[in-house]
Structure 1
Amino acid sequence: MTWRDPKYPLPDEDAFEAIKAGVDALPPGSKMLLNSGEFYSWDFTTANLQLLARFFDKYPDYAERTFLSVKGGAPANSLGLDSSPENLRRSVDAINAALRGTKKLDLFECARVDPKYPVEEVIKILVGLKNEGKFSHIGMSECAAETLRRGHAVHPIAIVEIEVSLWSYESETKKVIATAQELGIAVAAYSASTISLASRLPLADGSILIRSPTENDIRRHLTRFKEDYFKHNMAIVDAIKVLAAKKNISPAQLAIAWVGSLGAHVIPLPGSSVKKRTLENLSGGDVELSEADKAELAKIIADHEIKGDRYFGNDAAAHLWG
């Protein structure tokens, strides 16, 4: 909602309606997982959290109907890694300051694993901040399965956030999902669509809904959306559309259903800034996939090699599977 070209801002009311629609559609007693970040804006500020604070100002009853997970741990107003005790405290305090007391920070997680600090030390720092009442749960993000196990040994990890999409279903993805199931940890399954202007669903940055990224779309910078790779990579989207048509559902709903079918502990994390799309995405959670459907999807993944890495041409620089 806020990781957008500043020339094309999303009006608050549009954002608010998209959030409200999702929460209102849930069964009584359920909570909507909201995923935010200290740096979710084009200038890496707390704009996303400020948006949420304005939402909870207007709709205070929704604070208890949502579970807020926020990534931090980068240097102030930038991307990068700094899991020092001083910066983790700064990051958590900046998040809470942006929220202005409108909503309890339910879960904090470092956006990436900082190789300068053993994960055990980082989790111990977060335990201290949690015990001070600054947030309620500890998460991890973009970590390898063994790293998740090490962190969980220090303090229970509530959620691990990793990319899970039909364009990105790697061997380490499967290991993290299995390890999380063993340890009783939820998986928040995002797609790289969370860094796109028009993120829609967990299939390759919303690619089901576009045929090419537009000028104001951050996806045009992603390797898989470069002209050399884009047409090749869209072949899997066409295959998904065929199967979705057979089931009389949208490709978005099929992609979300596939993510959810990977385990009861796996939570699809599609992005939407439109009320209609939010409701469509939620309906994907109700789609039941047969074993034949799953087998066909597995064959589609196996038959379609995806060209390009997940981000900007250097996955190592993106600190994936830390």
Structure 2
Amino acid sequence: MSMKRINLGSEGLQVPVQGLGCMGMTTIAGGDIYGKANEEESIATIHRALELGIDFLDTADLYGPLLNERLVAKAIKGNREKYTIATKFGYEVDDNEQLTWGFNGTPAYVQKAIDRSLKNLDTDYIDLYYLHRVDPNTPIEETVGAMAELVKSGKVKYIGLSEVSAETIKRAHKVHPITAVQSEYSLFEREAETSGVLDTLKELGIGFVAYSPLGRGFISGDIKSPDDFAADDFRRSIPRFQGDNFYKNITLLKEIELIAAEKGVTPSQLALAWVLAQGVLAIPGTKRIKYIEENAAATNITLSTAEKEKLESIVPAGATAGGRYDDTQMQFVDA
């Protein structure tokens, strides 16, 4: 099936308008992110994504750690050239394959991380290589300088950054052209607009990749109360999904559900259509065929100016109750 394709940034990378976030397909440090995952079903989802024209896969060495890249390798075996693979580094993984929960953006670690990811993904190049989080102890210029060397050596085609400020983007881009910046972005999370990040990207010709475009699954409407999350579900730690915040956000969601019903689409499809209408690449995560099909169908939904404005009036930037991470995790976001 053909899916509309766009240029991600201005360095030559072409991608479908929607990619697939693979994080939920494996645990992180032994804990489930969004409930239990099944490897067979996850691989089948990656295969179905390709049939639907979704050939952009987003993974990271953090996920697992390392297990997610290995799962992606299994899924794409024999078809590497048909996929665009994005992976990330920066959360330090030691030689015993354990997360230290520190950050490492030193040139030596950049080399170590890329070689490990190439091995895990069973490939000799990465299409898009991101710095997952900025190492506060290493100047961004040093990290990006080392990433530029990977482009020169052919191990990486394009480089990106994740969860960075407008100022960091400008500094990094002077060292080597940045193709894409990834951040959380959805109807419920608009910080990329208010922080000046989207304006900076437009000015510099850098692409934007929206992760969690469905508000970490919240917009699907499947979660009715904070108790619906499994005991080890990562979302239990997020202020947005706790106590009164949860119920305030449910009220906003109910209004979105009414518009979706009027339009004859699911709330998830409506929310995805809104993100795509911003001209960015959305990478909703799923590990089930049912949802990859539903998400792919959202690429055919057109929103009128009035519908966009109505959605934005229901959830204006900053209207969501509670933070998108807890205080500890927010310290890792380069604001």
**TM-score range, shorter-chain basis?**
0.7 to 0.9
> Which position in structure 1 is the counterpart of 2:88?
71
Distance, in Å, in 1 between the alignment partners of 2:317 and 2:166 is 26
Q: CA deviation at 1:172?
A: 4.8
Distance change >3 Å, CA 304–CA 237, structure 1 → 2: farther
Query: How many Å separate the matches in 1 of 2:243 and 2:233?
Result: 14
Structure 2 CA distance, aligned partners of 1:185 and 1:303?
22
**Secondary structure at the counterpart of residue 58 of structure 2:** strand
SS in 1 for 2:300: coil
Distance 2:73 2:330 in 1: 34
* Distance (Å, rounded) in 1 between the aligned partners of 2:317 and 2:201: 28
Contact between 2:183 and 2:192, CA under 8 Å: does it hold in 1? no
Counterparts of 2:306 and 2:281, CA distance in 1 = 22
The answer to whether the 8 Å contact 1:164/1:173 transfers is no
| 143-152 or 171-180: bigger deviation | 171-180
Residues 173 and 274 of structure 1: is their aligned pair in 2 closer, same or farther, counting only changes over 3 Å? farther
* Cα drift, residue 25 of structure 1: 1.2
Please say which of residues 236-245 and 218-227 is displaced more in the overlay. 218-227
RMSD of aligned residue pairs (Cα, Å): 2.1
Question: Residues 73 and 120 of structure 2 are in contact (CA less than 8 Å); yes or no, is this contact kept in structure 1?
Answer: yes
Q: Which has the larger strand fraction? A: 2
User: What's the CA shift for 1:218?
Assistant: 1.9
Higher relative contact order, structure no. (Cα contacts within 8 Å, ≥ 6 residues apart): 2
**SS in structure 2 at match of 1:188:** strand
Higher mean Cα deviation, 72-81 or 169-178? 169-178
SS in 1 for 2:48: helix
Q: Does 1:54 align with 2:71?
A: no
2:52 corresponds in structure 1 to 25
The alpha carbon displacement at 1:166 in A equals 1.6
TM-aligned CA distance change 1:171 to 1:20, over 3 Å: closer
Equivalent residue for 2:152, pick from 111, 131, 139: 131
Could you tell me whether the CA contact under 8 Å between 2:72 and 2:121 is conserved in 1?
yes
TM-score by structure 2 length? 0.83
Counterparts of 1:100 and 1:25, CA distance in 2: 24
* Aligned with 1:217 (options 233, 239, 248): 233
Tell which deviates more after alignment, 4-13 or 139-148.
Answer: 4-13
- Aligned residue for 2:210, secondary structure, equals strand
1:81 matched residue in structure 2: 103
Partner of 2:321: 307
- Of 214-223 and 154-163, deviating more is 214-223
Whole-Å Cα distance in 1 between the matches of residues 130 and 293 of structure 2?
27
Amino acid across the alignment from 1:227: G
User: Are 1:204 and 2:215 matched, yes or no?
Assistant: yes
- Structure 2 residue matching 1:80: 3-state secondary structure: strand
Kept in 1, the 8 Å contact 2:190–2:318? The answer is no
Report SS of the residue matched to 1:302.
coil
> Secondary structure at 1:307's aligned position in 2?
coil
Q: Which runs of 5+ in 1 are unaligned?
A: 192-201
Deviations 1:165-201 (A, max 9, x none): 122112655622222223222211012xxxxxxxxxx
Give the superposition deviation at 1:9: 5.0
The 8 Å contact of residues 141 and 171 in structure 2, kept in 1 or not, is answered as: yes
Deviation at 1:52, TM superposition (A): 1.0
Matched residues, number? 298
Cross-structure match for 1:196 = none
CA distance in 1, matches of 2:334, 2:251: 27
Query: Secondary structure at the residue paired with 2:287?
Result: coil
Give the percent of matched residue pairs that are identical in Structure 1 and Structure 2: 33
Report the secondary structure of 1:122's partner residue: helix
Alignment check: 8 A CA contact 1:260 1:267 kept: yes
Task: Give the match's secondary structure for 2:327.
Answer: coil
